Chain A
Amino acid sequence: MVVRIQDLPRRRYGMPGNAACPGCPEAMGLRYIKMALGDNVVLVIPAGCSSVIQGIWPKSGINFPILNIVFASAASAAAGMKAAFEMMGRDDVHVVVWAGDGGTADIGFQSMSGAAERNDDIIYIVADNEAYMNTGIQRSGLTPYGAWTTTTPLGKKEHKKNLPFIMIAHDVPYVATASVGYPHDFIEKLRKAAKIRGFRYIHLHAPDPVGWRFDPSLTPKVAQLAVKTGMWPLFEYDRGVFRLSPFSKPYKDPSKRTPIIEYLKLQGRFRHIIDKPEEIKKLEEYVDRLWYWIDALEKAFNPSEKARELLSRHA
């Protein structure tokens, strides 16, 4: 079902006066969760920017009840909360983890993988700003190749971990990528996820003006360019069926993709590589590999009944 902006009720979704930096993609993402899921939600937030965005006690700048929790075990705490709600006869409460890329791909990976394997009934959202921004822009497992961070002063030498594919391999019912540049798509995916039981994973690409070194007014534009260049494909894996999302469909054809350089040159973190064709080539090759994966997944997880039966415990 397509989301129309005009249909979204006129009400407060975010919480003004929070401690997010101007142009913050996480503040955007948190509003979209409210737009998609409403009020019957509790958030679990491990250490990260969103611990700080809440601002200072006794107020909180995020418009949800929140359990703040240690860096490494957000998914576990969420699993426990869900178990508690079920024991109290409250199956309707959405327990949502809102974690950063570090809290998900690095220190929180074990906990998340465990919850996914158990198929705990939670929605796990990673707000991926591609580095440890809260501690001052250090590299994470989700920082892309070539990106400057304070711990990769000459650019990261490794590629971004392909977490959504790893989550598909966990055989959970729902995995999707999303972007703050495409709120409708994100909201739609959240609403779809909300109707499914079990472990649901949504990977939200969240370009960060502070850590990526671009003007705060450009957050949506940079996010959209990541999609248009093919760097961040939008797709979903829904109980055994893999689909490219409409906004990414055209970019299956490499000739339709915006050249990567258009994405890189808006961001100061790539300043030292935009004049180096061999470095750009490495990123282009990464994008090609990404789309080989997508091609393979589309073929493997097609909507045929047999494939669904074979390939997913949730079909």
Chain B
Amino acid sequence: MSVGKSARGPIVEAPVGFFAAPVSHPAPGAAGKTGTWRDYRPVINEEKCVKCLLCWLYCPEDTILRREDDMVYVDYEYCKGCGICASVCPVNAIEMVPERGGLE
């Protein structure tokens, strides 16, 4: 018997018979390809960027990504185009450009 304090967790045993589990796991795209929601896309001017990472910090979606050298780029598959990155950029290195239909 090991149901006392020593146990790290319970015994997980697969259900027998038809069973539909009300269980999910974290994964990208739980609401689909949210890049399709976008009216404006953020475009980063790498020449202006000072790598302060504020856009990365404030992006609600985790769709501003950091390269090894901390230059940032955008995950357009999921970026919803809220424009927070452009609004917090202290050097105006991000421009919101109207989408012309279709994802890249």
Contact = CB atoms under 8 A, between A and B. Distances in A.
B9 interface: yes
B60 A217 contact: no
Contact of A59 (B29, B58, B66, B77): B29
Contacts of B87: 217-218, 220-221
Contacts of A221: 87
Contacts of A27: 60-61
A27 B32 CA distance: 16
B53 interface: yes
Given A31-B62, A183-B57, A59 B25 contact: yes
Contact of A17 (B9, B24, B34, B70): B34
A222 to B, nearest CB: 10
Contacts of B31: 17-19, 55-56, 61
A61 B80 CA distance: 14
A62 B82 contact: no
Nearest to B7: A88
B54 interface: yes
B57 A17 contact: no
Contact of B82 (A12, A22, A58, A90): A22
B62 to A, nearest CB: 4
Interface string B33-63: 1100100000000000000111011101111
B93 interface: no
Given A16-B75, A17-B78, A88 B8 contact: yes
Interface residues on A, range: 35 or more
A2 interface: no
Given A6-B70, A220-B87, A60 B61 contact: no
A216 to B, nearest CB: 4
B5 interface: yes
A73 interface: no
Interface string B64-94: 0010101000010111111110111000000
Given A28-B58, A88-B9, A22 B27 contact: no
In this complex, the member of A22, A25, A31 whose beta carbon has the largest number of chain B beta carbons within 10 angstroms is: A22
A60 B84 contact: no
Given A5-B57, A88-B5, A220-B87, A22 B80 contact: yes
Interface string A10-34: 1011111111101111011001000
B88 A220 contact: yes
A155 to B, nearest CB: 27
B61 A55 contact: no
A15 B5 contact: no
A198 B26 CA distance: 28
Nearest to A27: B60
Contact of B30 (A5, A19, A87, A90): A19
A111 interface: no
A188 interface: no
Nearest to A86: B5
B31 to A, nearest CB: 4
Contacts of B29: 16-17, 55, 59
In this complex, the member of A14, A25, A217 whose beta carbon has the largest number of chain B beta carbons within 10 angstroms is: A217
The 5 closest A-B pairs by CB, nearest first: A55-B30, A217-B83, A16-B78, A14-B62, A17-B29
Given A19-B31, A217-B83, 16 more contacts: A12-B62, A17-B28, A17-B34, A17-B77, A22-B82, A23-B84, A27-B60, A28-B60, A55-B30, A56-B31, A59-B29, A61-B30, A87-B5, A88-B8, A216-B83, A218-B87
9 contacts: A5-B56, A17-B34, A22-B83, A27-B60, A28-B58, A57-B22, A59-B30, A61-B26, A220-B88
Interface of B: 5-9, 22-34, 37, 52-54, 56-58, 60-63, 66, 68, 70, 75, 77-84, 86-88, 96
